[in-house]
Amino acid sequence: MTATLALQLTDQARLRRRVLALAENRPAVYRMLDATGRVVYVGKAKRLRNRLLSYFRARYPDDKGARILNSTTDIEWDDMPSEFAALLGELRQILRYRPVFNVRMNRNRRAGFIKISQGPAPKIYVGTSPGSDATTHYGPYAGLTRLREAIRVLNDLMGLRDCSLRMPISFPEQGDLFGPTQRAGCLRHDLAQCTGPCAALVSESEYQERLQTAIRFLEASAIAPLDRVVTEMTAASDRSDFELAAWWRNKFDHLEWLLGASARSRAAVASLSFVYLDPGIYGDDRAYVINHAAVRAAAPVPRTPIEREAFRALVTEHAEWKPASGSLPQGAIDEMLLLLQWFRRRPGALSRTVSFDEWLREETPATIDDERP
């Protein structure tokens, strides 16, 4: 069901009466619209009527709910079969409409991501929110402080820049355009921690080779940076330079942690690959095909043999999908975080999951209907 309430900005009393009359206390996704019809806020509710009425009790301008309502002339909502469906619908509508109040009131994220920028000298760095489609992402990771230190070690070993993305870049092969070689913009080059792409001190091909070595390490397809650390640590120990050996051992610990954290992250994402049977509050149960923490397809829970056979074909279509590389699929990061959080906070939800193999066998797996008395 989709409902629309069109009112003037100053007619909040009438808006409240219509909410009382039409909104049900069930899961839903709602949209607040301004006088031009632009969506300024998207929210979800387990009990829609209670949630919408709370806006009218908020005090302006202290409460954010009152500030949203003050900019609102229309309210629209879509009833949802369950809280999970409402969460998923809210996220997708936020990504669709990009409402101004959702951006301003976005909560801080605890998960960290390793990001790789584009451009002639890409930068590897740590962020807490998805970037543009031009940015490659790895993660998510817990422990932002340790993650930042591990990436600093990796950048230092590979001589990759960690300066601002706005820093001008030049390479020796562009000498006719940029003039004679200049001094690097920071001390990292003097400390042999950066190859100096800001001052034409490294060729583009060499920088790219170093970058690809770091990427292969992040994807666990090669461990060259760790090999170098072990070699240096062993050599220092053999010379009885134990202080230097301890310095290299500290770098080893950071890179070893990064390898393990990356493996755990990939395993956590890959583990969310199954059919999730989500009960609706009014019997409108849904079945979600989830692969690598992304909802690939959804349909009503199949009841009859024909419906189950059709759903088996849907599972077959999406079960074999795999990410193209070790990086996260563009545009799917917010949904991935939502699913990871949903199943981590609700272990009981995992009991309503069915593996792809079970769905694809000849026998029919149990469904929600089979479990109800």
Q: Rounded to an integer, what is the distance from CA 325 to the centroid of its chain?
A: 16
Quote the CA–CA distance of 255 and 223 in Å, as a whole number.
10
Q: Cβ distance 222 to 213 under 8 Å?
A: yes
The pTM for the full model equals: 0.85
Mean pLDDT, rounded, for 67-78: 93
Quote the CA–CA distance of 148 and 261 in Å, as a whole number.
13
Centre a 10 Å sphere on the Cβ of residue 276 and count the other Cβ atoms it contains: 21
Q: Please, how many CA atoms are within 13 Å of residue 133, restricted to the half-sphere of its CB?
A: 3
Give first-to-last CA distance, the chain, whole Å. Answer: 28
139 sits in which H/E element: strand 136-141
- The domain covering 2-104 belongs, at the CATH homologous superfamily level, to GIY-YIG endonuclease (3.40.1440.10)
Of residues 69, 17, 80, 5, the one with CA closest to residue 40: 69
**pLDDT of 129:** 79
Q: Is the peptide bond before 302 cis (omega within 30 degrees of 0)?
A: no
Q: How confident is the model at residue 6 (pLDDT cuts 50, 70, 90)?
A: very low
Sheet holding 353-354, edge to edge: 295-300, 286-290, 274-278, 353-354
Looking up tokens 């422990």 gives: 143
Which residue ranges make up each domain of the chain?
2-104, 112-269, 272-371
Provide the residue count of the chain: 373
Q: What residues form DSSP beta bridges with 274? A: 290
Summarize pLDDT for 136-149 with one digit per residue, the tens: 999 999 899 999 99
φ/ψ (deg, to 5) at 288: -110, 130
Summarize pLDDT for 215-259 with one digit per residue, the tens: 999 998 889 999 999 999 999 999 999 999 999 999 999 999 999
